[in-house]
Each structure stands twice: as structure tokens, then as C-alpha cells.
Chains A and B, each alone.
Chain A
Amino acid sequence: MIPAAFDYLRPTTVEDAVAALAEAGEEAKVLAGGHSLLPVLRLRLAAPTLLVDLGGLPQLRGVRTDGDTLVLGAMTTHAEVAGAPVVVDAAPLLAQAAATIGDRQVRHRGTLGGSLAHADPAGDLPTAAVALDAELVLAGPAGRRTVPAREFFVDYFTTTLRPDELLVEVRVPALPGWGSHYLKVNRTAQAWATVAVAAVVERENGTITQARVALTNMGPTPVRAVAVERALAGVPVDAIEAAAAHAVEGTSPASDTTASADYRRHLAQVLARRALTAAAGS
């Protein structure tokens, strides 16, 4: 299919990009890799009048550390997130989740910011960001603001981003000494997650001191499995199995051609147990 006609802008500063978005209002879409946007345009499910391509903003690309915080530019590709030593070192969960996305071609074009802003409940990086308590930096006409990942995702494909705002940076607090694991079940290697689980665990002397668990595709947004987390505060590692059974609490998975809600609930428990076990290193 061929998209409906649109104007195309490739700004070189964040300010210009934001100004263009502010002017176009709801009629503009941001191009940040395009793997989700272009199919929607080609199927004519959306017909924006303006595409603002962030490909001309190298300042939004790359990874650095800022004290105990890992800072990732929004236009950093999945391949860079998966492979950059600083990410693998400071936030291995994020690297692991990025490595499961699509295929090599997708990972070299798709971007971290694009994935987060698109807010597909089957996306991997939103879940990882939520599990890691990442903070998202948004730039708008009035300046920048920072939103915790847990508050960023509002509904299916909906975030707190305003039409005139850009996601420019992702800040991930390092968790030294924590173990982590991202475990995903999908129909084919290139498919979105049927269900996936992100687990991050802090241990001390064989005891789990605290854990964070987030679920992919178990509701309209990434879900923190708070009941599991509560059950894993200051308990031995063998408490994981019982705790994982709470993974379905607070979820509302959909039934679709990939899987039924029932199966997703079952899968969430199995994967939570396995991901936590791997994260706890036992």
C-alpha cells in the first residue's frame, strides 16, 4: 500500500523539532525509526499531514553514564542498546530486552525512544523501563520535564507525551549487584511478545532483599507485578515459586489471534517464576 500524502521535515535541532510539532498539533507524527509508524501509514490507518523525522538529530543518539545513572539518547537504536558495553554493564536487563526485538535489520533502525513513545503493550523496552524505574525526559516548547516510566504509559499506544513534546532522553538508575532477566515467549522470532517478564532481583546472603517484576502484554500498559514484589521482600530464593503465582494480580490481558487471555495469565506465572529464578541466579 501507499501512504496518503504528507509533508516531511527533518530538523537539526530539538528546538526546531518541537516548534514544528507545536505548529502542526495533532496532525503531526514523529518518525523515530519507523518500524511501527510506516505500516500504519501504508495501511492508511493514520494519515498525518506532517512527518517530523528525528534522523537528523545525532545529539539524541548515544549512551553515557552520569554518576550512578545510565543516560540513553532517545534515538539510540535497539542494536546499540543491546550491544553497548556500558548498557550491558549498568542495565543488562535493558540490553537483553533490546536484543529480543524483531531481527537484525529492525534492531538497527528501530530506536529506544520510538519504542517507548509508541507504547505498544507488546513492546519489550517499555516493560524494561518500568522494571528499572527509568525516568523519561520530555522536551516541549516550555522546556524539559522528567516523567517516571511508571507514569509515562497511560493506555494502549497512549503516553503522557503531549502533541508538542518529544521524548529526548531515558535515564536508568544503575542497580549494582542486582541480578536481572528478561524472558519472552513469542510465536516466531520476529513476532511481538505473547507475554514477557522482566525481573530484577537484589540478593544478600541467599536471601532476596527486594525484587521488581514487570510484565509485557498483560494489559494496556506494562504492568508492575506488585503482588509478586511484595511477596519477595526479605525471603529465601525458594519463595519464588509461590510468589510467581501472584503474577496475574492486577493484569488485564487481551485475547487475540496470538493467544487467549487465559493462556497469557498462565504464561505470566510460568515466566515470572523462570525469570525470577534466573535473575536470582539460582
Chain B
Amino acid sequence: MTATLAGTAAEPEVGRARLRKEDARLVTGRTRWTENITVPGMLHLAILRSPHAHARISRVDTSAALREPNVIAAFSGADVAETQGTMACAWPVTEDIVLPIYRPLAVDEVRHVGEPVAVVVARDRASATDALEAIEVDYEPLPVVLGLESALADGAPLVHADAGTNKCYTWVLDSGEAGTGKAVGEAAAAAELTIHRRYVQQRLVPASMEPRSVLVDPTGDEWTIYSATQIPHILRFLLAATTGTPEHKIRVIAPDVGGGFGGKLAVTPEEWIAFAAANRVGKPVKYTESRSESMVSAHHGRDMIQDITLYARRDGTVTGLSVKLLANMGAYLGIVTPGVPILGAFMYNAIYKFPAYRFECTGVFTTTTKTDAYRGAGRPEATYAIERIMDELAAELDLDPLEVRRRNWIRHDEFPFTTVAGLEYDSGNYEAATEKAMQLFGYDTLRAEQAKRRVAGDPVQLGIGVSTYTEMCGLAPSRILGALRYGAGGWESASVRLLPTGKVEVVTGTSPHGQGHVTSWSQIVADQLGVAFDDVEVLHGDTRTSHKGLDTYGSRSLAVGGIALVLACQKVREKARTIAAHLLECAPDDLEFADGAFRVRGTPTSAKTIGECALAVFAAHDLPDGVEPQLDAEATFDPQTFSFPHGTHLCAVDVDTETGAATIRKYVCVDDVGTVVNPLIVEGQVHGGVAQGIAQALYEEAVFDEDGNLVTGSLADYTVPSSADLPEIVSDRTETPATSNPLGVKGVGEAGTIASTPAVVNAIVDALRPSGVTDVPMPCTPERVWRALQTARSGQEVAA
């Protein structure tokens, strides 16, 4: 066998900026979105939604709709009350949490605008939509509950009258009680400096490009469900569990999915309604939401009030932190709604090593669209609060914001480090990332320019914002999830199948929706098995081919699913070693796997590739006794710890003090996401993440009016920025491999979003601090910046 066929010492695939295999079909639209899929006999579903934020339903009459052209069925929640199942919350964070009954179609009461009330099934979508107008519903309006604090006030109207309270839960992490640190009371008593701030995390809409869409086909001896979801496996499990449908008769397919950002980390009432409708008519039923429906009924993100108190010494050493959080659940609990702020509980201490910490979160029901995971889920909120208040500490002590951080962060030689929140950070180098970011940014030069413009009284002031973040990725060690009362594990699965021609099929339990797993997974397999990048196919998102998996969210896919893949590849290699040894007539131990093939030690030209072994087992003419004729392998990986990407983001903002407009002039980020499999994909994730974080800082906010109507219900009012609104993003990396997994990877899906929001707001506040501004509420619109300046100036005048 020639050395060429046996593989060469080619450049490793891991680390190469491979163009994505997925992009040609995704970018040209020559692909399968759920909405594109048509099956024989398919009908269309339209949903009538509540115009009231809170009302009793006294009557629903669908009879007139049934007489409309092309209408097959029309029904209300009451009509399917017994069969439609309920929506599950998978994360009851405390023993005494209030878990309201959440029905896909409202039966007797609606609790937010947009809640599904009745449906029409028709031969085409237009007829279904038209017929909605013929449905009559009588509502008796009930009082709305919108504000977090007002919802908790005595005598507040109740979202769920049965519960007797609008409080969903209170969850506490106290380092003194947990034994992970001191009591925060000691820190408070001894503090030379106490800084309290209240920050508001505005409500956001995930707004993925593809709206939600589902097609339920009940024909045949099973149910096939196509859904634009991040979580096909969880969808199958929960549909079986809540409707009594046998799990093995449900096949869920997530075809190409056009973005999720946590918005599709959901099982949705619309999926359940389509399932109920398909069963009722006995035919396939498809539903695709409009953008307007998506804005008001798909879950929202963030919406918290953060009261944060920092204790410090005058030398800049932080001695303790107390966080009190109110988190808006909305009207109902989605699968991880209560847990989102809890994920943040472990991140407020960030990269710092102070000894005392207390976190308390109260979840609150309101008559609004439910909240749930949105890119970062709990961690952006935590990072925002701590990075903002670290700047306040710097200002209080007249220190550079980076210097304050330096005095408190975990040094690179102090890893592994167990934090005050009880997590062990395996690795990191905050000094290196910060140093690199400062150089790329020209930190000292910009500070000098800032000083000059301040002295000159330039109407356009320069602000410099800092964010030295870390986050927890790789969700998640199953034991920890269990301890946090999460309803599932955090493992991930992969299997590897060798075809006779040496091509490889990989089945992954992760469910990509834009992340490029097909490309990255191919690169990993190419190195692990010595096959060509193009010879690997990655199968995902179909529970029939991928029966086992926990899907994609929380920057987990590579750090958990990628490791399962490596383990499966190792099993394949060990099987192939036996075959190769037999073919080469040597002992397995005499072989080494090098340059893409098994080679006899000392005689490297005597070699067999995995492909040759695959052909040999396919023929099975000459295998060692007792050896099964196959090389396939499956592995499941359950991480023992989280992974902890980190980095330093620096942002320069020009703030026009006359108009209040803040324009990002320079944005530099140096992220350490561990070993990089594909630099192009990593950079893309960072860019998109930074854009989404900037969007929270400057542009986006979901606003309800006093009646509970979403007034930012379209993309004209909910201002998602476009490329024209965003700066050039200079992205670079340091690479400190994670020590907790064999690839050294950490995860990158959320890093940019987590880091960038505080960097931008810190920059705006930094620009205006000489005028006395210490906060601008998000999003920092021109008007809000202008108002903050007006208020601060009048305050200064009063003080003078």
C-alpha cells in the first residue's frame, strides 16, 4: 500500500478556516425550511389570538368559521381541553415554586395579548386566515399586571388567581451558607466603600430570521413532526410525556432552521395546537407564524431589575457582592423560564476573586408574553451588572477601569480556581487577553484623545468602555443540573458510521440552526480518523437517525457534543486497529495511528487507513476470530465541569452631547474560547454575538402599553439593527485550552453577546461621567442619553 493512499502528514483540519459546507444551500435558499415542506393532503392552520392582556373567556363560537370557504375544522380551547395536553416547565427551581397550568389553547382565561384562543384548519393558508374573522369570542376583561414591583405589591391583581400570589419563586445562593465563601454581611460591615446600583435589563425579542413553523403529519402508523426548533429530541420527549402519545411513534425532524438565539429552545403551544389539529382532522397540518405573531407570542428574553451592591476597600479590592434580582416570568413558564436568572447566579462574581457573595432572585408573574432563554440566558445580565459596577468602583477611586479589574481578577497562575459561587474555573489568562486587546485598540492613545476632548469641551465626547467577561459554557454536567432541579441531564451523544468506500456518516445529538456543526464536526472527524474533510457527512435533527441527544443551546454543542464525537471516533479507531493489525499481520500494539493511518512502528510505509479497514469489514472475508464485521461506534459524553471562555472587549463611542446620539467608533474584542476548530466560524459567532449585544445596549426594547399591548410589535418599532448600524468589529483571540475536555474547547455561541453590552454602555457612561452621569438605561437611545445629560447637569447646578 502506498504512503499516499495511507494518508499524508497534511495540515490538521482542526484550526483551519474552512468555508462552511452548509452555506451554499442556506445562503441561496435551496434548502428545506419547515415552511417549504409540503406533504400530500396537507392542510393549513391559523390561530386566533387574544387581544386582551387579561380576560375571562365567557364564550367562543366557531360555527360561522366552519361555513367559510375551504374550512375543514374550527375549534377552541374548550373543545380540546381534555386532549390537547399541557405545556411543561422543565426547570422548577425550588420546591415551593408556583407552576401554573399552561394550556396550548386557552380554555377559560387569557393572560397575555397574543395567547392562542381558537383555530381554523383550511385547505389553504389564506382561507384559514380569512375564516378567523368569523370566530366570535366574548371576553370579560380582568385587571392587567405589568410591572415587576407592582405585581408583588399587596393587593395586586393576580395573574393566576389559584396561586394566591404573583411570586413564582425565590431562589438564593449565599456563599456563607453554601460554604463557598464568607457571609456577605461580614463584608458589608467591614467595607470601606459600598456602592449600590439598580440596573434594568429591558425585555428583548429573540427575533430569529426564520419565524417558528411546524408541520404535523399524523398519517400512517406514526406522527411525523417537522419543526423549526433547536430541540427536536426534547420536543419528542415532552410531546410524548404530556399528551400520552407513545414516544416511539413520534418522529421529530428539525430541517434547516434559520436561527434561534434561544427563541427556539422551546416547546411551543403552536406545536401542541398543530398536533391537536392534525389529530382532530386526521390529516397533515402546517402552521407558520407571521412576524407579528412571532413578536407577541414567541417567548421574550431578559426583563429583570437588578439591585447590586458592591463592597470594597479603598485600595480597590472588592470584598463582597450582593445581588437582588426581580425576574419577569411573564404569564406562564416555558421549559426553562425560571432557570434563566439562576444560570446568571454563578456568573456575577465573574473573573474576580472576592470572598463573599449573596444572590437572591424572585421570579414574578405578569400578564405579558412569557420570557425564557435568549442568547446568553442569565449570563449577559450578570456580566452587565458586574462589569458596570466595576466601572463605578473605578470612578469612585479615580482609577482606570482596567486597573480596578487587574486588582481583583484571578491571575493566570491561580488556576484552577474555585469561585465564591462554587464553580471551579479550570483555566484562563485574563492578563494576556487584556494586554492584546489594549494593543489592538490603542487604549492609551484613545485615553489621551479623550482627555484632550474633555478639556476642549468638544460637543462630541469620547467614551471608552471595558468588559472583561467570563461565562460558563458546555451545558452541562448532569449531576449539577440535577442539584439545580433541572428536569434533564446535560450529556450529549454521537455515533460514527463507516461506509464501505471509506466515507463516514456522523450522527450527532446536537441540533444546529446556523452554527455550522456539519463543517466543524467534519474537521474533527477528519483528524480523528484520517479521512478527508469532504468524505464526512453529518446527520442531525431527525430523531429517527439521531435517536439520542439533548440538542443545541448554551454554547454546549462543541464542548459537549464535540467531545462525544471524539470519544466515538476513538472507539472506531480501536476497532479498526484490530482489523489493521490483522491485515498487516502484526500485533495491535505494534501499530501507531499517525498521519491518517495505522502504521507499523519502525516501518511507516506498512500502513492501513481506516477506509481500508472499513472495506475489509464490509467484505468480512478475512477477519480475526470473534471480531464483529463493523467499525461503527457510539459515545455519550457527560461533562464533569462547565467550560469558561473569557475575554476582553473594548469599545470607543462618540457621544454627541447635543443630540444624544452614541456612535461606536471602534470595537475590539479578544476572546479566549480555548482551542479553535474553525477560526472562520468562531469569528462569525463573535461578530453575530457582539451585534446582538450592541442591539441590547443601543437599539432593542420590547415595550407594553398600560393595557398590556405590545407596542413594539413589528420590526418597524422593534429596532433590530442592520449591518448599516454596526461598527467594524476587530476580533482576535488568545487560546488557553480548557483542561476539562480532550479537545480543549470551551464554546463561543454566546460570548460576544455576553461581553459586548456592558462594554458599550460603559463607554457611553464614561463619555458623560464628567457631566455627572452614572447611568443611562438601556437601550441607550439618543433621547435617553440626552435626558441623562440634562438630569445630571441640572443636578450639578443644584449641587453648585
A247 CB to nearest chain B CB (Å): 13
The residue from A2, A43, A189, A263 contacting B725, defined by CB atoms under 8 A apart: A189
Hey, which chain A residues are within 8 Å of B660, CB to CB? Answer: 263
The residue from B130, B290, B716, B782 contacting A185, defined by CB atoms under 8 A apart: B782
CB-CB nearest in chain A for B660: A263
Hey, which chain A residues are within 8 Å of B711, CB to CB? Answer: 257
* Residue-wise interface mask of A (184-207) relative to B, using a CB-CB cutoff of 8 A (1 in contact, 0 not): 010111111010000000000000
In the assembled complex, the Cα of A260 lies from the Cα of B660 at a distance in Å of: 13
Hey, which chain B residues are within 8 Å of A43, CB to CB? Answer: 292, 714
Hey, which chain A residues are within 8 Å of B786, CB to CB? Answer: 263, 266
In the complex, are the beta carbons of A187 and B130 less than 8 A apart? no
A270 interface contact, C-beta 8 A: yes
* Residue-wise interface mask of B (751-780) relative to A, using a CB-CB cutoff of 8 A (1 in contact, 0 not): 000000000000000000000000000000
A267 interface contact, C-beta 8 A: yes
A57 interface contact, C-beta 8 A: no
In the complex, are the beta carbons of B725 and A1 less than 8 A apart? no
In the assembled complex, the Cα of A270 lies from the Cα of B658 at a distance in Å of: 7
**Interface SS of chain B:** loop
The residue from B129, B130, B714, B719 contacting A188, defined by CB atoms under 8 A apart: B719
Hey, which chain B residues are within 8 Å of A271, CB to CB? Answer: 659
Hey, which chain A residues are within 8 Å of B699, CB to CB? Answer: 187-188
In the complex, are the beta carbons of A190 and B722 less than 8 A apart? yes
A38 interface contact, C-beta 8 A: no
In the assembled complex, the Cα of A192 lies from the Cα of B714 at a distance in Å of: 14
The residue from B292, B714, B724, B782 contacting A194, defined by CB atoms under 8 A apart: B782
Hey, which chain A residues are within 8 Å of B716, CB to CB? Answer: 39, 191-192
Q: How many A-B residue pairs have CB under 8 A?
A: 59
In the assembled complex, the Cα of A189 lies from the Cα of B129 at a distance in Å of: 33
Hey, which chain B residues are within 8 Å of A192, CB to CB? Answer: 716
B664 CB to nearest chain A CB (Å): 13
* Residue-wise interface mask of B (575-601) relative to A, using a CB-CB cutoff of 8 A (1 in contact, 0 not): 000000000000000000000000000
CB-CB nearest in chain A for B459: A270
A243 CB to nearest chain B CB (Å): 17
A5-B724 in contact given A43-B292, A257-B711 (Cβ < 8 Å): no
A190-B129 in contact given A1-B290, A1-B292, A259-B783 (Cβ < 8 Å): no
In the complex, are the beta carbons of A103 and B717 less than 8 A apart? no
Q: Which of A152-192 contact B (CB under 8 A)?
A: 185, 187-192
B97 interface contact, C-beta 8 A: no
In the complex, are the beta carbons of B661 and A185 less than 8 A apart? yes
Hey, which chain B residues are within 8 Å of A103, CB to CB? Answer: 722, 724
Hey, which chain A residues are within 8 Å of B446, CB to CB? Answer: none
Hey, which chain A residues are within 8 Å of B659, CB to CB? Answer: 185, 267, 270-271
Hey, which chain A residues are within 8 Å of B719, CB to CB? Answer: 187-188, 191
A190-B658 in contact given A2-B129, A43-B292 (Cβ < 8 Å): no
In the complex, are the beta carbons of B130 and A5 less than 8 A apart? yes
In the complex, are the beta carbons of B721 and A257 less than 8 A apart? no
In the assembled complex, the Cα of A185 lies from the Cα of B722 at a distance in Å of: 16
Hey, which chain B residues are within 8 Å of A194, CB to CB? Answer: 782
B712 interface contact, C-beta 8 A: yes
A142 CB to nearest chain B CB (Å): 38
B703 interface contact, C-beta 8 A: yes
CB-CB nearest in chain A for B293: A1
A203 CB to nearest chain B CB (Å): 24
In the assembled complex, the Cα of A271 lies from the Cα of B129 at a distance in Å of: 45
In the assembled complex, the Cα of A42 lies from the Cα of B293 at a distance in Å of: 12
B660 CB to nearest chain A CB (Å): 8
Hey, which chain A residues are within 8 Å of B724, CB to CB? Answer: 103, 188-190
In the assembled complex, the Cα of A194 lies from the Cα of B786 at a distance in Å of: 14
In the complex, are the beta carbons of A187 and B722 less than 8 A apart? no
In the complex, are the beta carbons of A2 and B782 less than 8 A apart? no
Hey, which chain B residues are within 8 Å of A267, CB to CB? Answer: 659, 782
Enumerate chain A interface residues (CB-CB to B < 8 A): 1-2, 4-5, 39, 42-43, 103, 185, 187-192, 194, 257, 259-260, 263, 266-267, 270-271
A-B pairs, 4 with minimum CB distance: A189-B724, A263-B783, A2-B129, A1-B290
Given A2-B130, A103-B724, A188-B721, 20 additional A-B pairs, CB 8 A: A1-B290, A1-B292, A2-B129, A4-B130, A39-B714, A187-B699, A188-B720, A188-B722, A190-B724, A191-B716, A192-B716, A257-B711, A257-B717, A259-B781, A259-B782, A260-B783, A263-B786, A267-B659, A267-B782, A270-B658
Enumerate chain B interface residues (CB-CB to A < 8 A): 125-126, 129-130, 290, 292, 658-661, 699, 703, 711-712, 714, 716-717, 719-722, 724-725, 781-783, 786-787
25 contacts between A and B (CB under 8 A): A1-B292, A4-B130, A5-B126, A39-B716, A43-B292, A103-B722, A187-B782, A188-B699, A188-B720, A188-B721, A188-B724, A189-B722, A189-B724, A191-B719, A192-B716, A257-B711, A259-B781, A259-B782, A259-B783, A263-B660, A263-B786, A266-B786, A267-B782, A270-B658, A271-B659
